[in-house]
Amino acid sequence: MVKKQSTEHPPVQSERRSFLNTIWMVLGAVALGEAAWLITSFLKPRKRKIHQGDFGGAITAGPVSSFTNNTVTAFPRGRFYLSRLDDGGFLAVSRQCTHLGCTIPWEEKEKLFICPCHASAFDIFGNAVKSPASRALDIFKVYIENQTVYVDTGQMIKRSEFRKEQAVYSTAPGSKA
C-alpha cells in the first residue's frame, strides 16, 4: 500500500514563510524609499551656504559715523568698496571693472579706481572717466538701520552712470550724520 504524501505544509513552515515574506516587503519598501530620496536629493538644486560677511549675502559695513565724507573703504570679502560721498551719501561700488572684469584697486592719491589691466579709471561715484571702460561700475543695494550701514551683495545693479537717487543717506542729503 502506497502512503499518500500530504501537499500541505506543516503550520510552522507556513508561518516562517509568511514571516520571511513580510521581511522582504519591509526591506523592499526601505530600498524604494532610499532610492526615491537619492533621486530627489540628486535633482534638487543645491544652495550655496553664505556665511555672514561673505559675498552673496548681507554685509554689515559698520556705523554711519565710522565713514568720513569723501572716502572709499574696501570690503574684500564682500567684493565691493563703500564710497561715502561729499554730501554724506553712501554707494556700494563693485570692484569688478566694467571693461573685462579685472579687480580694480582704489588709488587714494588720484582719488580714482584705476584698473591694472587696461587703465580704465572710475571716480568715487564709479563713473567711467577714462576708457576703454564705457560705463559706470556696478553697485549693490545699501540700506541703513539704526545708524548702521548694510550692503546686500546678493544682487548686482548694472548702470550706465551715477544718478543722485543711487546714493543712500542716513539723514537728509548734505547734513552730517
**Between 118 and 163, whose beta carbon lies closer to ligand FES?**
118
| CA-based radius of gyration for the chain | 33
**Between 88 and 126, whose beta carbon lies closer to ligand FES?**
126
Distance in Å, CB of 72 to ligand FES, minimum: 17
Distance in Å, CB of 112 to ligand FES, minimum: 13
Report the alpha-carbon distance of residue 100 to residue 115 in Å, rounded.
10
Site for ligand FES, rule CB under 6 A: 97, 99-100, 102, 115, 117-118, 120, 132-133
90-94 and 148-157 as β-strands: parallel, antiparallel, unpaired? Answer: unpaired
Distance in Å, CB of 91 to ligand FES, minimum: 19
Tell me the residue type at 17. R
Distance in Å, CB of 104 to ligand FES, minimum: 7
User: How many whole angstroms from its chain centre is CA 40?
Assistant: 24
Kindly report the CA angle at 80 between 117 and 87, in degrees rounded to 5? 110
Distance in Å, CB of 80 to ligand FES, minimum: 16
The answer to whether the peptide bond before residue 132 is cis (omega within 30 degrees of 0) is yes
Q: H-helix or E-strand containing 155?
A: strand 148-157
> Which residue reads 550724520 in cell numbers?
177
Helix, strand, or coil (residue 118): coil
**Between 17 and 118, whose beta carbon lies closer to ligand FES?**
118
